[in-house]
Structures are given as structure tokens and as C-alpha cells.
Amino acid sequence: MTEMVRADNVHKAFGSLEVLKGIDLVVQQGEVCCVLGPSGSGKSTFLRCINHLEKINAGRILVDGDLIGYQERGGKLHELGEKDVARQRQSIGMVFQRFNLFPHMTVLQNVMEAPCRVKSENKSVVRDRAVSLLDQVGLGAKKENYPGQLSGGQQQRVAIARALAMRPKLMLFDEPTSALDPELVGEVLDTMKDLARDGMTMVVVTHEIGFAREVGDSLIFMDGGVVVEQGPPREVIANPRETRTKAFLSKVL
């Protein structure tokens, strides 16, 4: 088994506001790691550090053995240039709370854009892959629609297909269902379950306790910029040890 994500003592501050105060995390290949925690605890910030959308102030993050955002040469850290950061991000897919589909492109163009422009892959090959990904998330019939014509749940599934089109080793989900109407949550979670079953390594920030219990291999509970408790989801959810975890779970369950 290889370590897909390794975070060592990660610190992040916005100005004087310390948001992450020493996060440690290991996610093995093929594992689904669920991240729980109250609002403002730094979950999104941590996720964004993993693909270097935010620069960390201290600590290390490695994805598949690659140091994210930096390079170690002669015992010194050098910042990676824009190209190298972009290359690292290519193998890390990310799905956002508010979908962030490109509204001026059709669904199919959204999915094809990055493989065609970033990896310069052959267009007809990408097209076939995009079509089959869209079929996989149940949106084969909406290829030519614009995102504005889809429901929230459909948009989020397109966003998942768009990230998968880059063939990532790791997928990051930042509360993928919290902007959705309750009846649309299920379809997105089902897509994510399929993905987990196919062996994708995933880090999922979510408030869906059911999903964490059913699909998660590990769970971390964050509060105030630190990991308060971690372990197998069933255990943590059934018998939380820390008072903060108990208080949080009693609210969301």
C-alpha cells in the first residue's frame, strides 16, 4: 500500500488569523477519508492546501510521494514555478461546494477543456472519454446543454466528471452536497460511492454522516485548526471520545 496523501504538521495563517495549527494526516491509496468539523474549523483551507490553492506556512504536504508546492534542493526548500504547480494539480481533482462549472461552455466542453488544453491530448480520444464519463454520472443526455440549464445535482455530477477527465490519482471534495436541495443530495452521493468502489482515493469534507459511515475508511474531526479525533468512521460516530466531537455529532445526527 502506498501513501497517497501525507500531511505533516501543517500550519496556515491568513495574516494574524491562524487557521491550521498543525494538521497531521495520512491517506492510503484507495482510501476514502472523511473530514468533519464545525464551520470555520479550517476544513476547506486544509483541502485547498493539498492542491496548493493556498500556500502553507509550515509543515509538509506530500501527494503520492511528491512534495506539494516546493522542491527540496541542497537542504533548502525552493518554491515551485507556476508550471510545476500546475503539473502537480493535474493529478489532483477537486470538486467545490458551488460546482464552479464554466457557464460559457457546454457540459461536454467543460469536461473536455482541461485534457485538451492542459495535457494537449487528442481531441477525439478526449471526447470519447468525456462522453463515457458523462454516461457514468448519468448525464449522457445533457452533453450539449449549458450548466445554467441543469439542476444543482446535475451540475455537481458534471463537476465530478470534469475532474475525473484529467485521470486524477486523488479527488478532493469540499462539501459537494451542501449547496443542494435535499432531494438532489442522493444522486451526487451515489456518484461518489461508485467512485469509491472503483478504488479512487478521496478526501471528502462533508456533513453527511451517513455517507461517512457507509463509504469512509477513515474519519478525522477538526475543530479550531487541529485534528481533535480520528479513527474508523463507525467507531468515531458511534462512540466519540472527545467532548467537542460529541457536541458536534449530537447536532448533525
Partner 1 sequence: MTTEQQETERARPEPIKAVPVRHPGRWVLIAVLAILAAMFIHLLVTNDRFRWSFIFLHYQDGKRGVMFTEPVLEGLRGTILLTITSMVIGIVLGVIIAIMRLSPNRILSSVAWIYTWFFRAVPRLVLAVLFGNLNILWDRIGFGLPFDHQIGKLFGINDLNAQFYSIKASDLLAGFVAGMLALGLSEGAYMAEIVRAGIQSIDPGQAEAAHALGMSRQLVLRRVVLPQAMRVIVPPTGNEVIAMVKDTSLVAFVPVTFELFFQLNQISARTFVVLPVLVAALIWYLIICSVLMVGQFFVERHFSRGYGSTGRARQRLRDIEVEQGGRITGEAS
Ligand X SMILES: Nc1ncnc2c1ncn2[C@@H]1O[C@H](COP(=O)(O)OP(=O)(O)OP(=O)(O)O)[C@@H](O)[C@H]1O
User: In the bound complex, what is the minimum distance in angstroms from residue 47's beta carbon to Mg ion?
Assistant: 8
**Distance of alpha carbon 104 from alpha carbon 86, whole angstroms:** 23
Q: Which CB sits closer to partner 1, 66 or 113?
A: 113
Task: Enter the C-alpha cell of residue 140.
Answer: 449522457
Is residue 46 near partner 1 by the rule CB under 8 A? no
User: In the bound complex, what is the minimum distance in angstroms from residue 48's beta carbon to Mg ion?
Assistant: 9
User: In the bound complex, what is the minimum distance in angstroms from residue 14's beta carbon to partner 1?
Assistant: 15
| One of 118, 238, 247, 252 touching partner 1 (CB under 8 A) | 118
Strand partners, 17: 14
User: In the bound complex, what is the minimum distance in angstroms from residue 103's beta carbon to partner 1?
Assistant: 5
Phi first, then psi: give them for residue 219, nearest 5 degrees: -140, 135
Is residue 206 near Mg ion by the rule CB under 5 A? no
Which candidate, 104, 99, 105, 167, places its Cα nearest to that of 133? 167
- CA distances 136 to 42, 80, 131, 158, 231, Å, are 32, 35, 9, 10, 31
Contacting residues toward ligand X, per CB under 6 A: 14, 17, 19, 37, 39-45
Q: Which CB sits closer to partner 1, 181 or 235?
A: 181
Helix residue ranges per DSSP H, 71-199: 82-90, 107-117, 123-136, 152-164, 182-197
The helix or strand, by DSSP H or E, that contains position 43, with its residue range, turns out to be: helix 43-50
Is residue 100 near partner 1 by the rule CB under 8 A? yes
Is residue 210 near partner 1 by the rule CB under 8 A? no
Considering only residues 166 to 185 of the shown chain, the ones binding partner 1 according to CB under 8 A are: 166
Is residue 44 near Mg ion by the rule CB under 5 A? yes
**Distance of alpha carbon 86 from alpha carbon 84, whole angstroms:** 5
Task: Enter the C-alpha cell of residue 158.
Answer: 458534471
Which candidate, 8, 37, 41, places its Cα nearest to that of 25? 8
Q: Which CB sits closer to ligand X, 45 or 110?
A: 45
Which candidate, 229, 207, 210, 208, places its Cα nearest to that of 220? 229
User: In the bound complex, what is the minimum distance in angstroms from residue 98's beta carbon to partner 1?
Assistant: 6
Q: Which CB sits closer to ligand X, 37 or 176?
A: 37
Is residue 117 near partner 1 by the rule CB under 8 A? yes
Q: Residues interacting with Mg ion, by CB under 5 A? A: 44
Q: Residues interacting with partner 1, by CB under 8 A? A: 51, 53, 82-83, 86-90, 92-94, 96, 98, 100-106, 113-114, 117-118, 137-142, 145-149, 151, 154, 157, 159, 162-163, 166, 187, 190-191
